[in-house]
Amino acid sequence: MEWIDQILDNFSSVISQSDPAGWSGGFNYYGFWPYYSKEFLDRLWQAYEKAEEKKLAPADLTRCFLGPLFLRQEIIDIFFFAKSCNYDKEKTLKIATWFKDILVAKCTDDPYGVNSVKILTHDDVAYLMKMFPFRHVEINEAREAAKLIHACEALSWSYYFDWNYWQCFEAYGPYKLPHNHTLLLRAFTDFAPGEVWPHAVNFEPSTVYVYTIYKDVDVKLDFWSHVNTKDNLPAKMTKLLVLEHGKIIDNHEQLIALRKKMEVAAVMQGKRFQQLTFEELKQKEIQTKYYTYKDLFNTLELDWQPTQELLNKVKGKPLLEFKFPAMETIEERKTFWRRLADPRDNYFLQELKQ
Amino acid sequence: MKKLLSGVTASNGKVEGVARVVVSEADFEAFQEGEILVVKITDPTMVIIMNKSAAIICDIGGIGSHPAIISRELGIPCIVNTKTATTAIKSGMKITIDASGTEGAIYGMD
């Protein structure tokens, strides 16, 4: 199961960069997920069986997931969920392997997230460069584009939580272009999740795509699609294309207007999120988790919503109390996270067992 | 220049400017374009002031945390895990943030 090791290596590398002891307050997902891990895995198992029954190949289901980040992290979540409820190991591995096969079908390179997130082929990129109306940009407009990306990311997080935002946002690349240029794409694909946030049902734009080309940068995208670089990206941006709900943003003034609109939306949504009560937060987290699978469940003709029984089950329950072990070094944290997620390792935090 | 404190460089760069310590939403309105944001940790509701910032300094966080990701995208310096930035630095102080190495440092300017 070499692929499991590769996924675990890349996941543990990225999550070990911060010390969980410093994670400030708030809603600790690890203390909540065990409450519904069995029900969620049962639904995934149903989905797996349906796909088999309908003879749908992994490649047929790639369209149900925004991108590799979603699939990579969900594989880790499947492992964690399964250990928290002692889920059948054979079923766990079948579900995870199914997701892995969809992930491999989705990616054109580096599916397990060593240093990129790639879903476009060379031909796709060549076509894009030929046909898309990129504009040359100077530093002021490049900075504006960076602020827009930030505002869109903030809105994604405020709708989807820190742990489901890949329903709406993923960065792709780096795609190497001639003369030491590099293309990155930021895709924001669902700013109107009306089923979870009713006020957002008609939000516009529901999608924003930002294509940026840089010169002479060394940039990598990690397991979580984070852009990592020592270069000043806005300073090295040479070309830009922004699509607001499919409409091309033609000039600097339009870019500023879009940026401001998304900033305000992000602040408003962030406040709505912060004002949720603890009970509302639990409900919203489950609804959001299931919502991110809506496309998959609909394709397989399954109800995508969580059951009312499940939503009732978590009412009145506090977060499970636990402590991360003291971990001074990155290597200690890597080992911890690897063992916690590894389905072949019985190690788990006993307080999180349900 | 007097070294005030240090932390982990999350986004490279060097900037001089006026610090603005943000403890709660009540402090957002006072934040001016080009100031250096000093905060325990950032969150999405700070999007507007972060977009105005010349640099970001945080008490906690790592190179994969929210302020780190955003700072790299914005191309501004960021130092995290300083432990005491929000108490050691006062709003209005002129400071230099040097995030050119793995360890970043903040200096008070005379």
Q: Is B13 helix (H, G, I), strand (E, B) or coil?
A: strand
What CATH code is carried by the domain that includes residue B58? 3.50.30.10
Residue A18 has pLDDT above 90, yes or no: no
Over pLDDT 90: what percentage of chain B?
90
Residue A162 has pLDDT above 90, yes or no: no
Over pLDDT 90: what percentage of chain A?
89
Minimal Cβ distance to B41: which of A14, A15, A24: A24
A349 vs chain B: nearest CA distance in angstroms? 23
The overall average pLDDT reported for chain A is: 95
- Number of structural domains found in chain B: 1
pLDDT at A22: 66
- pTM, two decimal places: 0.95
Q: Is A255 helix (H, G, I), strand (E, B) or coil?
A: helix
Residue A28 has pLDDT above 90, yes or no: no
Q: A25 pLDDT band (50/70/90 cuts)? A: low
When mean pLDDT is compared across A24-33, A262-271, A301-310, B51-60, the lowest value belongs to: A24-33
Residue A63 has pLDDT above 70, yes or no: yes
Distance in angstroms (rounded) separating the CA atoms of residues A290 and A196: 10
Chain B residues with CB under 8 Å of A271 CB are 45
Average pLDDT over residues A157-161: 92
Average pLDDT over residues A323-337: 92
Average pLDDT over residues A309-335: 93
Minimal Cβ distance to B47: which of A14, A229, A263: A263
Neighbour-count burial of B36, counting CB atoms closer than 10 A to its CB (0-12 exposed, 13-18 middle, 19+ buried)? buried
Q: Test B64 with A150 for CB contact under 8 angstroms.
A: no
Residue B33 has pLDDT above 60, yes or no: yes
Distance in angstroms (rounded) separating the CA atoms of residues A37 and A86: 10
A346 touches chain B (CB under 8 A): no
Model confidence pLDDT, tens digit, residues A199-235: 999 999 999 999 999 999 999 999 999 999 999 999 9
pLDDT at B110: 66
pLDDT at A19: 77
Residue A161 has pLDDT above 90, yes or no: no
A334 vs chain B: nearest CA distance in angstroms? 14
Question: Contact at 8 Å (CB) between B80 and B10?
Answer: yes
Residue B98 vs residues A37, A296, B11, B74: alpha-carbon distances, Å:
45, 47, 10, 17
A91 vs chain B: nearest CA distance in angstroms? 33
Minimal Cβ distance to A227: which of B13, B51, B73: B73
Structure tokens at A145: 């584009």
A104 touches chain B (CB under 8 A): no
Chain A residues with CB under 8 Å of B99 CB are none
Minimal Cβ distance to A14: which of B12, B43, B64: B64
Model confidence pLDDT, tens digit, residues A75-114: 999 999 999 999 999 999 999 999 999 999 999 899 999 9
Burial track A124-152 (b if 16+ CB lie within 10 A, e otherwise): ebeebbeeeeebebeeebbbbbbbbbbbb
B38 vs chain A: nearest CA distance in angstroms? 16
| H or E segment to which residue B95 belongs | strand B94-99
Q: A354 pLDDT band (50/70/90 cuts)? A: confident
Average pLDDT over residues A336-340: 96
Neighbour-count burial of A33, counting CB atoms closer than 10 A to its CB (0-12 exposed, 13-18 middle, 19+ buried)? buried
Q: Please list, in sequence order, all residues whose beta carbon lies within 8 angstroms of the beta carbon of residue A96, skipping any fewer than 6 positions away.
A: A4, A75, A78, A79, A343
pLDDT at B93: 96
| H or E segment to which residue B2 belongs | strand B2-11
Distance in angstroms (rounded) separating the CA atoms of residues A323 and A20: 9
In this structure, what DSSP letter does residue A192 have? -
Average pLDDT over residues A329-348: 95
A271 touches chain B (CB under 8 A): yes
B65 vs chain A: nearest CA distance in angstroms? 7
Residue A194 has pLDDT above 60, yes or no: yes
Q: Test A234 with B45 for CB contact under 8 angstroms.
A: no
Residue A24 has pLDDT above 60, yes or no: no
Average pLDDT over residues A194-203: 96
Average pLDDT over residues A40-59: 98
Chain B residues with CB under 8 Å of A273 CB are 44
Average pLDDT over residues A125-145: 96
Q: Please list, in sequence order, all residues whose beta carbon lies within 8 angstroms of the beta carbon of residue A315, skipping any fewer than 6 positions away.
A: A279, A282
Over pLDDT 70: what percentage of chain B?
99
Question: Nearest CA to A209 among A170, A182, A174?
Answer: A170
Q: Test A143 with B75 for CB contact under 8 angstroms.
A: yes
Average pLDDT over residues A162-179: 93
Q: State the ipTM, two decimals.
A: 0.95
| Pick among A11, A12, A69, A230 to test the B interface (most B CBs inside 10 A) | A230
Q: B89 pLDDT band (50/70/90 cuts)? A: very high
Q: Test A266 with B60 for CB contact under 8 angstroms.
A: no
A9 touches chain B (CB under 8 A): no
Domain region containing B81: 2-108
Distance in angstroms (rounded) separating the CA atoms of residues A120 and A125: 6
Q: Test B64 with A224 for CB contact under 8 angstroms.
A: yes
A123 vs chain B: nearest CA distance in angstroms? 27
Q: A246 pLDDT band (50/70/90 cuts)? A: very high
Interface of B with A (CB under 8 A): 12-13, 40-41, 43-45, 47-48, 50-51, 60-65, 69-70, 72-75, 81
Average pLDDT over residues A16-25: 74
